[in-house]
Amino acid sequence: MTGVDPRVLARYEVYDEQARLWRPGLGDLVRLRTWDILDRNVPPGGRVLDVGGGPGTHAAHLAGRGDAVTLVDPVVRHVEQATARARRGEGAPFSVQLGEATHLAAASASVDAVVLMGPLYHLVDRADRLAALAEARRVLRPGGRVVAEIITRHGWVLDATVRGLIADEAVREDAARSAATGLSQDPATAAPGSFWAYFHDVDELRAELTEAGFEDVTLVAVEGFAWLLGDLEQRMAEPEAILAAVRMTEREPSLLGSSAHVLGIATNPARRAQS
């Protein structure tokens, strides 16, 4: 367990990841949209590796569909929370392992789908992201699916604007630095426990998946434009209309960068050109 940046580990020792996807409004939007995308793009009943699965929100959903799920995460706190969730009997059980995206314990060609909901943005070096994608491809059967999430390049600019922070000159300078470099924090001044990540240009995700050997790459917005709505929490009290609108626009290239998160969905070729 030496490959995980200590800044990432420190962040999740102080941040409540378990609560993030259940917060009214934005949490509901992200959770329900993610489940909708998974349900439409990962056939149920298969063997799924949820890499960087955190406390297990998505693993529990996938297990409830009938998937045989193994969650892998490098954060001890998350592993403990996911293990407790799997044992509570709220739904179908799933397995939990301490591990990292670039060194998976699973055997080659042993799973039908790999879900990467954090590794690609917490691995700030491109070589490490490609290593994680290579591991995902190694453990996938021919024809298996990968679903990999990024944070988009201008996510901090948009978030700061929505939250009314952009009037602060220091925030504007930080957002401009983030948009220029892709780094969520200035490495020289990042505070302990701050969010350490890489923000992708959308086309970078397609390029990384392709370079890793995947085919049929599709990019799908998670929140889409809806996370920018000032009355999102009220609208999500009856979410059907918002979810339908985002689904209608989820693959529109001109709107992908307005979504805080984008999922890359791709296929492991039937002919394996890897050792």
94 located within any domain: yes
pLDDT in tens, 108-155: 999 999 999 999 999 999 999 999 999 999 999 999 999 999 999 999
Reported residue count of the chain is: 275
Q: How far apart are the first and last CA of the chain?
A: 24
For residue 57, the SS3 value is helix
pLDDT number for residue 96: 97
Distances (CA, A) of 2 to 24, 51, 102, 126, 248: 36, 17, 11, 18, 42
186 located within any domain: no
183 located within any domain: no
pLDDT number for residue 275: 42
Q: How many domains does the chain have?
A: 1
Can you give the residue range of the structural domain that contains 228? 6-153+194-267
Provide the residue type at 75 as one letter: V
CATH number at residue 108: 3.40.50.150
175 located within any domain: no
Please state, rounded to an integer, the average pLDDT across all residues of the chain: 95
pTM of the model: 0.95
Q: Which two tokens stand for residue 137?
A: 């491809």
Quickly tell me which residue has 């059980």 as its tokens: 93
227 located within any domain: yes
Taking a C-beta distance cutoff of 8 angstroms, is the pair 246, 35 a contact? no
* CA–CA gap between residue 182 and residue 157 (Å, rounded): 12
134 located within any domain: yes
158 located within any domain: no
Q: Which two tokens stand for residue 173?
A: 């300078």
Q: Per-residue b/e over 59-98, b at no fewer than 16 CB within 10 Å?
A: bbbbbebebbbbbbbbbebbbebbbebbeeeeebbbbbbe
Quickly tell me which residue has 């959308």 as its tokens: 202
For strands 111-116 and 47-51, give the pairing: parallel
Taking a C-beta distance cutoff of 8 angstroms, is the pair 216, 267 a contact? yes
pLDDT in tens, 68-89: 999 999 999 999 999 999 987 6
pLDDT number for residue 90: 66
What one-character-per-residue DSSP string does 179-216 give? HHH-BSS-TTTPPTT----BEE-HHHHHHHHHHTT-EE
167 located within any domain: no
pLDDT in tens, 201-223: 999 999 999 999 999 999 999 99
